Amino acid sequence: MKKHVTSSHWGAGVAEVQDGRLVGVGAHPIDPHPSSINDNFVSSIYGSSRILRPAVRKGYLEHGPGQQTDRRGKEPFVEVSWETALDLAAAALKNTCEEHGNEAIFGGSYGWGSAGRFHHAQSQLKRFLGCAGGFVRSDGNYSYNAALILLPYLIGDFENLAPTGTRWSTIAKEGELVVMFGGMPLKNAQAAPGGCSRHRLRDELRACHCAGVKFVDFNPCKSDTPAEIEAEWLALVPGSDTAIMLALAHTLLVENLHDQAFLDRYTVGFDEVKAYLVGDKDGIAKTAEWASKLSDIPADRIRTLARQMAASRTFICTAAGVQRGEHGEQPLWGTITLASMLGQIGLPGSGFGIAYGSDGGIGLMNRPIRWPALPQGKNRVEPFIPVACISDMLLHPGEAYQYNGLDLTYPDIRMIWWAGGNPFHHHQDINRLIQAFQKPETVIVNELNWTATARFADIVFPVTSTLEREDIGGGKRDNCLIPMPKIIAPVGEARDEYDIFTALARRLGIEEEFTQNKTSRQWLEEMWGDVSHQAAELGVELPAFDGFLNGDIIEFADPNPDTVLFSDFRKDPEKNRLTTPSGKIELYSETIASFGYSDCPGQATWLPPTEWLKSDRAALYPIHMISGQPKTRLHSQLDQGAYSQRNKIQGREPIMIHPNDAMKRNIVDGDVVTVFNDRGSCLAGAIVTSDIREQTVYLCTGAWYDPLDSEQQGSLDKHGNPNMLTHDKRTSRLSQGTAAHSTLVNIEKYEGELPAITAYVAPVNAG
């Protein structure tokens, strides 16, 4: 048995190989709480859904681009030689550029892809398409796009702020109270962009609890927060977070508990906020009673909590999931407003955090230097779309829309190339996405397994997994470099994406521009040389590249163990101005107000969702569905794996339902249920539990789309994909973020013989 250190987005591991075959990926000794997602590797790499050879959709192979596109997702694939697949893809790319221009090519590639720094699918694809003349790209992400767009106006760029977020260790030392909106889910913190060497969050939270820090959790789902910190659970109506924040702020104001000196020195716009809180703008005072009617949280508890927050060293945490609802910008703005009124921003153990618990890095660790990466080069095409606007773009080319103060037009896309992602997991309203995917003339997908996205392609390239190639592991917010040697030979005819794009570049006459006359190994050695030089400046001597690949994790000292967000700004706001227009925290943004967006005014505002339990629609669909990250995989990656499969219920994705809702519908634990609304339906396996709020269900994302009848429009999904039910509306015109968490459904017990799961059966070898 041979053992090799390796890395994935869900942590470092030790791969075990016998007779050239992977037999398992175990925990690395450095990790105190390793993720069981590693158990998915073996059965996914060798499973029935693995793409073994290049494949072309039957109709595309017979009739060419732009023909029978409505057969995508319905007809089988024909396995072909690499030469045939590469020739078809190169011809499609060349013809699209010549006939429609590079503005007709969309480089999808949204997703986590590989944890490696070189074999990163998104970087590889973007470099290749850039060398080919450019492509339409997506902007932002599904996870926290409202934060990415909104926060620069209020406090500064989120991606620059995340590494400087207040550490949990300082909260344990100095904090007294943590108020959470959306919990602190350990399952989300299993993964981190690029990987993580240690899973730290559980121990950091325990340290806070042992130090006497109290936790309060506004959350429809109790189990989103670890039981050992004994958080007070306040099960609010989903989508009412902003109302509670405003009511807390109102109590601070009318009881004179706010810090006016802080507001005067460090913020702008509080007079506008004050006028809104007391009702001068709309005639509605944002009292605790007002918020109680919207949230079902007792008014007295809201008032007493505001007093507790003012009397304590308080840290406010708002999860990324909270902003993935209609008007998702508002709870972020409410968080900053509330924290500013408390006046504790920049002090150890207090202030606020956005998206804590969304991955295994924020508030826990940061990298000491910038890890190496493959240069993506220049994209010569200017048009782009917000990432959640894919269906709109494909269905409405030429249509005008607004985004972040810009007036834009959707491009006319004739070709999609997707690598390192699965939009049939990430995107909302799958039935609408299916219609959208029928529009392009050619769809090319690079994939490891037969995901739904691969099934809706025309040309599919089989790619290697992280264990079938060598790379450098280094998390975006981690302090370790992790070797990723080639552990097993590629399964079937899978190839590295770099080799695929090199072969295509050769056909298009751009090979030298793409490769710079370097092999994969030469790129890696050059990247290793760059990081070695940076490490030497820190006094760390790194081994030669071969020594690194055959060695163990290299750990750097924690660069900022006592980080407190905005501590320098608090010390001297003139010398350490923020990057906002005013240089201060903007509680009212003149810039955003000037956009004139009714769905995102110039300050934190209560804007009721159109789809929530207090809306008229709840009469038809009386259950609010939350669709969060699963514990058994990262998004939809490796869903066929053993760990993911062990946690299914009769082969379906589990759905949490409150005992009272289950009893009304004659549902018991372990039943298969139908979840439905007017957008679609799916099956799921019931978990009856008091950990979920009444009139609320929790169905995790990532179960591979598996229609009962692919020929039937709007067919039942047999497997439990919540995006059969989510709408494709956005948070607002400001950020155009996904609003998936504003979804109403109904649920009933499934009667009859259960249909077989076919999501993992390869659709290949048509006659």
> Smallest Cα–Cα separation from 192: which of 27, 5, 355, 43?
355
Instruction: Please tell me the distance from the alpha carbon of residue 198 to that of residue 213, in angstroms, as a whole number.
Output: 23
Do residues 92 and 67 make contact, with C-beta atoms less than 8 angstroms apart? no
Closest residue by Cα to residue 299 from 309, 287, 285, 288: 288
CB 724 within 8 A of CB 431: yes
Rounded CA-CA distance 703/641 in Å is 12
d(C-alpha 311, C-alpha 363), whole Å: 24
Q: Identify residue 171 by its one-letter amino acid code.
A: I
* Nearest-angstrom CA–CA distance, 447 and 637: 11
**Burial classification of residue 165, based on how many CB atoms lie within 10 Å of its CB (0-12 exposed, 13-18 middle, 19 or more buried):** buried
Name the token pair of 388: 């959640």
Three-state DSSP class for residue 137: strand
CA 26 – CA 28 distance, rounded (Å)? 7
* 161 three-state secondary structure: helix
For tokens 């999904």, what's the residue?
Answer: 717
Give the side-chain half-sphere CA count within 13 A for 219: 28
Neighbour-count burial of 532, counting CB atoms closer than 10 A to its CB (0-12 exposed, 13-18 middle, 19+ buried)? middle
Helix ranges, 357-442 (H): 390-395, 423-426, 430-436
Positive or negative torsion for Cα 695, 699, 700, 705: negative
Distance, CA of 722 to CA of 619 (rounded, Å): 20
CA separation for the pair 738, 146 (Å, rounded)? 9
Cα–Cα distance, 230 to 172 (Å, whole number): 15
202, 608 contact by CB (below 8 A): no
Question: DSSP code of 495?
Answer: B
Q: Rounded to whole angstroms, how far apart are CA atoms 543 and 559?
A: 21
> What single letter denotes the amino acid at residue 44?
S
Residue 644 vs residues 36, 398, 566, 627, 639: alpha-carbon distances, Å? 9, 41, 40, 16, 6
Q: By the 8 A CB rule, do 239 and 290 touch?
A: no
Q: Where are the beta strands (DSSP E) in 377-465?
A: 384-386, 400-403, 406-409, 415-419, 442-447, 459-462
Question: If DSSP states are collapsed to H, E and C, what string results for 715-762?
Answer: CCECCCCHHHCCCCCECCCCCCCECCCCEEEEEEECCCCCCCCCCCCC
Q: Which of 263, 267, 215, 196 is nearest to 580 (CA)?
A: 267
Hey, what amino acid is at 662? Answer: A
Q: Which residues pair with 687 in a beta bridge?
A: 656
Q: Are strands 55-57 and 654-657 parallel, antiparallel or unpaired?
A: unpaired
**Number of C-beta neighbours around residue 455 at 10 A:** 24
Catalytic residue positions, numbered = 110, 112
Q: Are 155 and 578 in contact (CB under 8 A)?
A: yes
Tell me the Cα Rg of the chain: 26
CA distance 742 to 740: 5
